[in-house]
A and B are shown apart, each in its own frame.
Chain A
Amino acid sequence: MSERRRCRLKAGTSDDLVDAVLVEELTKDDLLKAHLDWAPVRIEALRRLYDAKVRWPEHWHWDWSKKADMLDLLAYRCMGIECEGQTQGLLMVSTIAGKSRLVEQLGKAVLYIEFVESAPWNLRDLVERPKFLGVGVALLEAAIEFSTTEGFGGRIGLHSLPQSEPFYRRYMTDLGPDAGHSEGLRYFEMSADQMRYFLEGRK
């Protein structure tokens, strides 16, 4: 299994495709480095939004350095996309299979996505001109591939923050608010058909 694979992102300014690297298993150090890299940019952007009286993104408080300890356990895996020497996005998944809630694949193993985030300089909510586009989609693709490797058939599921719901509705089935979730977030899952359609679109 290759630990570093080539993937592609779009340059935010020119729409040109650029080569990036998907790192399939990050260490705690990698997360700490990414946090140190992201934090100043995030704080500066939040300050601008505050001054402009614009609402902050719902995940503004995420701190990947605090999630790093999860990697002490086999139950979690973190992947990242690297480009131009910086981490452009992070993905944390649970390696303990979830159970599918979609009728057509009810009860089958699903890879659950705990957290997914693009670097602050790639977020339209935070910067006027994102540096790179397509980070979230590339990370979803990485999750599908990992799900396949794990024997979960490429099935993935997640709870979405309200601001990200439109993004996930493009690729996944919205199964509505989850009464069992601590924040009552909506649960999304990707079916096998949706996965094939998604991967076709990535070719």
Chain B
Amino acid sequence: MKGKKGLLFFICLLIAAGAAGYVTYYANSERNRGQIYNDMQSAVSHPESEQPSKPEPEVESEASASISLEPEVEPYVCPVDFDSLHKVNEDIYAWIEIPDTEVAYPVLQHDEDTYYYLNHTVEGVEGLPGSIYTDTGVAKDWSNYITVVYGHNMKNRTMFGSLKDYRDEDFLKAHPYIYVYTPEAKYTYQIFASVVYDDRLITAEYDQSSAQDRKNYLDSILNIRDMSSHILSDVPVTPDDNILTLSTCIAGAPENRYLVEAVLTDVQR
């Protein structure tokens, strides 16, 4: 090989090496950052997969006079080890799970920077895959009328990357419940819609303390009519119900979001 050709070849080798190194570095870093979620999922018990039956509706327990009756409502025993989770990050305040899907994650909230957990993992490491989180100031007892939970649409289906399965109406009907656990309570939500939405900031646009705004928000969901969205009209939901919105991005459509909408049907304390 002549001198010039040899130099050219050497430069190509250098570029190839650099490219390989960068790609490997970046991909493996992302994998490392996501590993904590695998560890957490293994550590948390999955009560719903052990009890596949539908959640019991909350029933008033009998007045406990002198006769000790069997209580009709089981007292809530939190299946999630929040003490261990808090050792990793104190900002973890809930655990969200959709049975028979990949969604099983801690829910975080930063008390100052609302976007912090978009771009930081539960270990506080910057970069994808980020965390599942709510905006600063959102009620941590899930008592807001409208609660939006955010997560990235990861290609490897972690975080909210598996929500795209709800594009299939059969999948939606087969996976209707979302469970949220806190140390104090278990919240059961029933999904009534999975829609392609725009990128408006829901919490900025709709004041959840206004009945008219809540109606407008609900109407904006229920009026959606396209082949990628589904509305289950047989699930009752009104502007006075607590609505849970799971929000994630859509690859190739930066001005849209994919939302899974669910209504609170049960609280177990």
Partners in one complex: no
- Residues of B participating in the A interface, judged by any CB pair closer than 8 Å: none
- Residues of A participating in the B interface, judged by any CB pair closer than 8 Å: none
